[in-house]
């Protein structure tokens, strides 16, 4: 366990991981909701995107990320990746002895609460959409809903490339979202933490009559609900810190966070993929 996470339970950090950089949207909201908490973010940038990969592979990647963060002494784990939440959340919760919060359950609740009519759209990676976890969850809470789900596999690499204002991105958005607009979808769930980066182009494509649902803020509220009033909550009598890790090109995370979210990331530590589940040993 990291020495900075020892001592009082509340001093231990919250761990947040994503397949890449999109989970920084969740970290930003957690920091806003819980300003006294210490945070650790891990972006598995060497293996992004997770969406096209098999459930078995995604579950392995998610477990490796979780084990790495556990070694840093985290007290709560946020799976800031819709694909991992869809495929691996049950396994993580059954294996780990700390609270594990995914992004899908809060996103479903937010979508139902935000719905203006009965036509709800869901966009996400191939893995998330094929799991049908959003579709089932929305249908259970809103049986009359007409759900339109579309996989948008190119959105994540476009975000990671920094092409949120590129003409190609607008063309891809029209290809994916045009059918949803024509179907009269009035509420659209951004079922991937990368997608809020493309909010402007998504709004332009869908039109002003469509409400966009981003689960990041709702996830932060859920984290607060788990910690508030417990011994795990930070006391707020020390200066909070945030640490960032990436499995490839760490400088990209710093540049991306600054450019997209105005988030100052002074240092990103690279951790090799093979160190996630099995740390290096010294002889």
Spatial neighbors of 68 by CB under 8 A, at least 6 apart, are 42, 245, 271, 275, 276, 277
Residues 141 and 233 in one domain: no
Asked if residue 59 lies in contact with residue 266, where contact means CB atoms within 8 angstroms, the answer is no
CA 6 to the chain's CA centroid? 27
How far lies 48's CA from each of 38, 80, 239, 246, 278, in Å?
25, 13, 32, 11, 20
Query: Is 283 a domain residue?
Result: no
Residues 179 and 155 in one domain: yes
Asked if residue 79 lies in contact with residue 91, where contact means CB atoms within 8 angstroms, the answer is no
Spatial neighbors of 125 by CB under 8 A, at least 6 apart, are 49, 50, 51, 52, 82, 83, 151, 152, 153, 156, 191, 192
Residues 89 and 228 in one domain: yes
How far lies 252's CA from each of 19, 161, 188, 198, 259, in Å?
14, 10, 29, 18, 10
What is the structure's pLDDT at 86?
93
Residues 224 and 91 in one domain: yes
Residues 229 and 149 in one domain: no
What is the structure's pLDDT at 255?
84
pLDDT (tens place) for every residue of the chain, 283 residues total: 443 444 688 899 999 999 988 899 899 999 999 999 999 999 999 999 898 999 999 999 999 999 999 999 999 999 999 999 999 999 999 999 999 999 999 999 999 999 988 899 999 999 999 999 999 999 999 999 999 999 999 998 998 888 888 999 999 999 999 999 999 999 999 999 889 989 999 999 999 889 999 988 889 999 999 999 999 999 988 899 999 999 999 988 888 788 777 788 989 999 999 998 777 655 4
Query: Is 263 a domain residue?
Result: yes
Residues 170 and 243 in one domain: no
What is the structure's pLDDT at 280?
67
Residues 94 and 221 in one domain: yes
Looking at the DSSP assignment, which residues form a beta bridge with residue 245?
A: 42, 269
Residues 89 and 37 in one domain: yes
* Residue 70 belongs to domain spanning: 3-103+217-277
- Our count of domains for the chain comes to 2
* CATH number of the domain where residue 134 is located: 3.40.50.1860
Residues 223 and 95 in one domain: yes
Residues 193 and 66 in one domain: no
What is the structure's pLDDT at 161?
84
Q: Which residues are catalytic?
A: 81, 192
3-state secondary structure of 121: strand
Residues 163 and 64 in one domain: no
Query: Is 282 a domain residue?
Result: no
Query: Is 256 a domain residue?
Result: yes
Residues 59 and 49 in one domain: yes
């Amino acid at each position: 366990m990291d020495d900075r996470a020892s001592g009082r339970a509340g001093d231990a950090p919250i761990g947040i991981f994503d397949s890449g950089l999109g989970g920084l949207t969740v970290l930003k909201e957690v920091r806003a909701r819980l300003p006294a908490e210490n945070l650790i973010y891990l972006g598995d940038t060497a293996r992004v995107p997770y969406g096209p990969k098999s459930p078995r592979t995604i579950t392995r990647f998610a477990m490796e990320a979780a084990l790495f963060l556990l070694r840093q002494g985290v007290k709560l784990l946020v799976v800031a990746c819709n694909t991992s939440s869809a495929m691996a959340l049950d396994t993580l919760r059954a294996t780990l002895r700390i609270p594990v919060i995914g992004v899908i359950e809060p996103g479903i609740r937010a979508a139902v609460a935000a719905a203006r009519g009965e036509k709800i759209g869901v966009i996400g990676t191939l893995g998330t959409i094929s799991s049908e976890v959003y579709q089932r969850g929305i249908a259970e809470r809103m049986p009359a809903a007409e759900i339109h789900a579309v996989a948008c596999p190119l959105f994540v690499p476009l975000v990671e490339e920094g092409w949120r204002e590129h003409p190609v991105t607008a063309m891809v958005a029209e290809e994916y979202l045009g059918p949803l607009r024509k179907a009269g979808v009035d509420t659209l769930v951004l079922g991937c933490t990368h997608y809020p980066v493309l909010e402007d182009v998504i709004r332009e494509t869908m039109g002003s009559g469509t409400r966009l649902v981003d689960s990041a803020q709702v996830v932060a509220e859920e984290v607060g609900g788990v910690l508030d009033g417990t011994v795990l909550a930070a006391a707020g009598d020390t200066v909070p810190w945030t640490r960032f890790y990436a499995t490839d090109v760490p400088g990209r995370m710093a540049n991306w966070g600054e450019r997209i979210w105005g988030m100052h990331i002074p240092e990103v530590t690279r951790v090799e993929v093979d160190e996630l589940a099995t740390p290096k040993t010294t002889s």
